[in-house]
Structure 1
Amino acid sequence: MAKKNAFYAQSGGVTAVINASACGVIEAARRHSDQIGTVYAGRNGIIGALTEALIDTSTLSDEDVAALRHTPGGAFGSCRYKLKDIDAHRAQYERLIEVFKAHNIGYFFYNGGNDSADTCLKVSKLAETMGYPLQAIHVPKTVDNDLPVTDNCPGFGSVAKYIAISTREAALDIASMCATSTKVFILEVMGRHAGWIAGAGGLAAEKEGDAPHLIIFPEIAFDRQKVMAKIDQSVKDHGYCVIVVSEGARYEEGTFLADAGSVDAFGHKQLGGVAPTLAGMVREDLGYKYHWAVADYLQRAARHIASETDVQQAYAVGQKAVELALAGRNSVMPTIVREESETYQWHVGEVALSDVANVEKFMPRDYITEDGFGISDAGRAYLQPLIQGECIPPFKNGMPVYVELEHQLVERKLPDFEV
């Protein structure tokens, strides 16, 4: 009986370390070449499977595959494309199985967050009902750190490190100029519903009075009067105020401060910029000179300052996904398990996808200070280990060296499919 091939795809917003997971999958599969045939990667994520645009990773050199470990972005292309409801749009899912069958694919590794966990679970169930032997393993990835069960998500530690460092560096800039210039600085970070990234900004502070002076979390209802009073007091006490605000900051009734009035491909509210919205309030209520910045894609692309812990974990879950598949596991996800020890230790576990799909993990209230504007000791103890270590990529001519892969596509066997 011929060896089964594998299909790997990247989904959603990429991270500084998602390619480390791809490296883990491909290298593990190559070590088990007696059991796994070719690893195909979807060009532009799951769309690559639907359109039968399969990249043959066997043409990649070992050196190029290894270089994925220090390359940001999505090396095979990702996508914001959510498969529709399986009952109303069964043809999409059946198309995936048809492509898998045509290319003898028995392993499905889907690298993404909450929505892709749901997709992976649905594909696994459909394959079972259609009698097609497929092992579907979800490889966790999300900068938002909002996947349940796993202690943390690969991709988050590097964003957390970037935000903590950026907060400290920006604060030094503001402090040096506040006597005659900007007194309020606002840094907007990602985090639609969960404030993990905003909370990471709190790691910049090591003693009382250090920036950030306010963190605005989605988990804490926004109270304009209280926020403005806190900003005003910080300027009076320190001469300036540094704020880290999550894009998902919201009022008590649930309305986002920066609701743009539209939705993205996954049906999520598009957010129109909370930093300028908050800056407008500062201008109207306090009259202080302000400046704001949006970390945006920079925070998730900054491989040059990635957390070594994050890189190791991203690689480990990719490797573990292959090991789980070879052990006969199906419809599961590798997890990061934090061990109970004096120093930070972790190992990779697993969880059923049914416990992960469509579930979000929020910042626990005890990770946030009582006033709702900072991280507590418990929050710091959780976050600090995740930004540890530096994993600097190779440099040439003053610039990091990142690999760009040639996408050699496999010959198509099926008719065109409308996406």
Structure 2
Amino acid sequence: MAIKNAFYAQSGGVTAVINASACGVIETARKHPEQIGKVYAGRNGIIGALREELIDTSEESDEAIRALMHTPGGAFGSCRYKLKNLTENRREYERLVEVFRAHDIGYFFYNGGGDSQDTAYKVSQIGDKMGYPITCIGIPKTVDNDLPFTDCCPGFGSVAKYVATSTLEASLDIKSMCESSTKVFILEVMGRHAGWIAASGGLAGKGRDEPPHIILFPEIPFNREAFLARVEQSVKDYGYCVVVASEGAQYEDGRFLADAGGKDAFGHTQLGGVAPTLANMVKQALGYKFHWAVADYLQRSARHLSSATDVEQAYTVGQQAVEMALAGKQAVMPIIVREQSKPYRWHIGEAPLSEVANQEKKMPIHFISDDGFSITDDCREYLQPLIEGEAFPPFENGIPKVAHLRNELAPKKLRTPFEV
């Protein structure tokens, strides 16, 4: 079997543990020099392949690659760029074939969410449609936890741990001041169409009297009157009210509370501002003093508070992606299969990219309470194992240490530049 090089790329919004998947890919590939030569990483995702900007990871030491395990962000750069169908833009696919052929790339590993798995699937079809054989494996990643088939998505467990912890800590702050100051606190978290991240805030408390007193899910249509009534009742009963709101909270007609009026590169509505929108509702209707916060990038980059479960799973899907490719698998994605919750046991399975691409896994209705404002015991049992365990990074001078890669580009072999 001829030795072929591999191409690995990161895509979409990054996570606290996506680099652990990169570590899994590179370290595993290095254990199979008889089958995989160099691992090239795309600078800024698939765009790096199109522009022939390939980072030669063989220039990095074993120590530097291992340090990816505790480094957040995207070590090689990510992107939001979705390949069109071959019939719509053959030019891009011809370019990929040119770059792959020029650098003797026979393996493609794409690390991302639903749109990224769509790209991975399209690339897998190059062999059939353009006469260039390439083994393509998708690697799951998304803080939104909305990929189908897999029990959970690497990246989610850590953001869930961060949101649950932040909800608990902020709640204690608000509770201590509610007698004479702030009555309402609203934490806005990510989650466009699926409420998994918002649900994780529910792990901060166990009873109805413990915060968060309200969780707003995209799956449950927002009702202004019911929301305000619950806020008022919580303040009367407990002296304060803590709300965790998904950015994707929407009205019954599908309008987002926080529609920013634009679209991202994948064609999704740009969101932002659900927390101040809700805060203004509370102020105008009830007159309570409030504070709000937007977790934004902090929630997905908080490697210092990552779940040990999440780190392990992120590494393992990267590792298994390589093993699947070497076993002759094609157009599949490694998935996490839950065997049981107590104690938590899981193993790696696989799902076809053709069925993963562009699909979203929303919260099951039995995970949401009948009143639509909290999580159920079933949801708690599902979430709890995913945030467990601590995997603290090494610290130096009080600050987490991170990987410092050289990220040297391989020499270009094609004369024609390519713009995206």
Give the distance between the partners of 1:341 and 1:212, measured in 2 at CA.
Answer: 24
Give the distance between the partners of 2:289 and 2:340, measured in 1 at CA.
Answer: 47
Summarize deviations over 1:76-127 as a string: whole Å, max 9, x none.
0101112233311111122111111110000000000001100010111123
Instruction: Give the deviation of 1:261 after TM superposition.
Output: 1.0
Summarize deviations over 1:168-190 as a string: whole Å, max 9, x none.
00000000000010000000000
Instruction: Give the deviation of 1:398 after TM superposition.
Output: 0.5
Is 1:43–1:78's contact at 8 Å kept on the other side of the alignment?
yes
Which residue in 1 is equivalent to 2:152? 152
Is 2:42–2:55's contact at 8 Å kept on the other side of the alignment?
yes
Summarize deviations over 1:271-299 as a string: whole Å, max 9, x none.
13100001110011111000000000000
Which residue in 2 is equivalent to 1:188? 188
Is 1:97–1:127's contact at 8 Å kept on the other side of the alignment?
no
Which residue in 2 is equivalent to 1:5? 5
Give the distance between the partners of 1:302 and 1:134, measured in 2 at CA.
Answer: 35
Which residue in 1 is equivalent to 2:228? 228
Instruction: Give the deviation of 1:208 after TM superposition.
Output: 3.6
Is 2:85–2:122's contact at 8 Å kept on the other side of the alignment?
no
Q: Note the 1:324-343 alignment, pairs <5 A.
A: 324-340=324-340, 342-343=342-343
Which residue in 2 is equivalent to 1:68? 68
* Structure 2 CA distance for partners of 1:72 and 1:266, relative to 1, 3 Å: same
* Structure 2 CA distance for partners of 1:226 and 1:208, relative to 1, 3 Å: closer
> Residue 344 of structure 2 aligns to a residue in which SS?
coil
Aligned AA (1:349): G
Instruction: Give the deviation of 1:131 after TM superposition.
Output: 1.8
Is 2:341–2:382's contact at 8 Å kept on the other side of the alignment?
no
Instruction: Give the deviation of 1:207 after TM superposition.
Output: 3.1
The answer as to 2:129 corresponding to 1:129 is yes
Moved more, 125-134 or 231-240: 125-134
Q: Note the 1:27-46 alignment, pairs <5 A.
A: 27-46=27-46
Q: Note the 1:16-415 alignment, pairs <5 A.
A: 16-340=16-340, 342-414=342-414, 415=416
> Residue 340 of structure 2 aligns to a residue in which SS?
coil
Give the distance between the partners of 2:33 and 2:209, measured in 1 at CA.
Answer: 56
> Residue 261 of structure 1 aligns to a residue in which SS?
strand
Instruction: Give the deviation of 1:341 after TM superposition.
Output: 6.2
Give the distance between the partners of 1:123 and 1:291, measured in 2 at CA.
Answer: 47
> Residue 142 of structure 2 aligns to a residue in which SS?
coil
Give the distance between the partners of 1:60 and 1:318, measured in 2 at CA.
Answer: 18
> Residue 169 of structure 1 aligns to a residue in which SS?
helix
Is 2:80–2:266's contact at 8 Å kept on the other side of the alignment?
yes
Summarize deviations over 1:259-278 as a string: whole Å, max 9, x none.
11110111100113100001
Moved more, 131-140 or 20-29: 131-140
Moved more, 269-278 or 190-199: 269-278
The answer as to 2:414 corresponding to 1:417 is no
Moved more, 341-350 or 156-165: 341-350
Give the distance between the partners of 1:42 and 1:404, measured in 2 at CA.
Answer: 17
Is 2:16–2:302's contact at 8 Å kept on the other side of the alignment?
yes
Is 1:136–1:331's contact at 8 Å kept on the other side of the alignment?
yes
Aligned AA (2:140): P
Is 1:188–1:295's contact at 8 Å kept on the other side of the alignment?
yes
Aligned AA (2:255): T
Give the distance between the partners of 1:19 and 1:418, measured in 2 at CA.
Answer: 27
Give the distance between the partners of 1:404 and 1:69, measured in 2 at CA.
Answer: 12
Give the distance between the partners of 1:133 and 1:88, measured in 2 at CA.
Answer: 21
Moved more, 332-341 or 141-150: 332-341
Summarize deviations over 1:323-382 as a string: whole Å, max 9, x none.
000000010000000003641101111111111001100000000111100000000000
Give the distance between the partners of 2:189 and 2:302, measured in 1 at CA.
Answer: 14
Aligned AA (2:206): E
Give the distance between the partners of 1:81 and 1:358, measured in 2 at CA.
Answer: 14
> Residue 371 of structure 1 aligns to a residue in which SS?
coil
Summarize deviations over 1:193-216 as a string: whole Å, max 9, x none.
000000000000023411000000
Is 2:174–2:183's contact at 8 Å kept on the other side of the alignment?
yes
In structure 1, stretches of 5+ residues that fail to align are none
> Residue 300 of structure 2 aligns to a residue in which SS?
helix
Summarize deviations over 1:204-239 as a string: whole Å, max 9, x none.
002341100000000000000000000000000000
Is 1:261–1:270's contact at 8 Å kept on the other side of the alignment?
yes
Instruction: Give the deviation of 1:30 after TM superposition.
Output: 0.4
Give the distance between the partners of 2:250 and 2:291, measured in 1 at CA.
Answer: 21
Give the distance between the partners of 1:235 and 1:87, measured in 2 at CA.
Answer: 58
Give the distance between the partners of 2:340 and 2:72, measured in 1 at CA.
Answer: 31
Aligned-residue sequence identity (percent) comes to 69
* Structure 2 CA distance for partners of 1:341 and 1:302, relative to 1, 3 Å: closer
Instruction: Give the deviation of 1:66 after TM superposition.
Output: 0.4
> Residue 345 of structure 1 aligns to a residue in which SS?
strand
Give the distance between the partners of 2:97 and 2:149, measured in 1 at CA.
Answer: 29
- What is the TM-score with the length of structure 1 in the denominator? 0.99
Give the distance between the partners of 2:341 and 2:297, measured in 1 at CA.
Answer: 35
Give the distance between the partners of 1:69 and 1:367, measured in 2 at CA.
Answer: 32
Give the distance between the partners of 1:114 and 1:165, measured in 2 at CA.
Answer: 27
Summarize deviations over 1:122-158 as a string: whole Å, max 9, x none.
1111232112110100000000000000000000000
Instruction: Give the deviation of 1:2 after TM superposition.
Output: 4.1
Is 1:139–1:321's contact at 8 Å kept on the other side of the alignment?
yes
Give the distance between the partners of 2:85 and 2:255, measured in 1 at CA.
Answer: 27
Give the distance between the partners of 1:342 and 1:2, measured in 2 at CA.
Answer: 45
In structure 2, stretches of 5+ residues that fail to align are none
